[in-house]
Amino acid sequence: MRWARSATAASVLVLGVAAPGAARGDDAPKISIKTYTVAGSDTPKIVMTATLDVPPKKVWAIVSDCSRYKGRLPRVKAAKQLKREGNKFTCEVTIDMPFPLSNLTAVTEAVHEESDKGMSRRWKLVRGDYKTNEGSWEIKPADAAGKTSFVTYTVHAEPNTMVPAAIREAAQKKTLPDLMASVRNEAAKLP
Q: What count of other Cβ atoms lies within 10 Å of the Cβ of residue 81? A: 16
Residues near 173 by beta carbon (within 8 Å), at least 6 away in sequence:
none
* Mean pLDDT for all residues in the chain: 83
| Residue-wise pLDDT tens digits, 160-176 | 887 766 676 666 667 78
116 has pLDDT over 70: yes
Amino acid 2: pLDDT: 33
Whether the pLDDT of residue 88 is over 90: the answer is yes
- What per-residue confidence (pLDDT) applies to 27? 57
Residue 177's pLDDT is 84
Domain that includes residue 110, residue range = 3-189
pLDDT at residue number 170? 66
| CB-based contact 64:79 (threshold 8 Å) | no
Q: Sign of dihedral through CA atoms 124, 127, 129, 131? A: positive
Summarised one tens digit per residue, pLDDT across range 15-64 is 333 333 334 445 556 899 999 999 988 888 999 999 999 999 999 999 99
CATH code for position 104: 3.30.530.20
Give the chain's domain count: 1
Residue 136 burial (10 A CB sphere; 0-12, 13-18, 19+): middle
The pLDDT assigned to 123 comes to 98
Give the phi and the psi of residue 77 in degrees, each rounded to 5. Answer: -80, -35
Mean pLDDT to the nearest integer, 137-164: 91
Per-residue pLDDT, 69 = 92
**Mean pLDDT of the region 73-95:** 94
DSSP H helical segments within 47-164, as ranges? 56-63, 69-72
pLDDT confidence of residue 17: 33
Q: Tell me 32's DSSP state.
A: E
Res 25: pLDDT: 47
Beta partners for residue 85, in sequence order: 88
pLDDT over 70 (residue 132):
yes
Q: What is the mean pLDDT of residues 81-96?
A: 96
More confident position, 171 or 87: 87
User: Stretch 95-107: mean pLDDT, rounded?
Assistant: 87
Residues with Cβ < 8 Å from 101, sequence gap 6 or more? 161, 163, 164, 167
Please report the pLDDT score of residue 124 as a whole number. Answer: 98
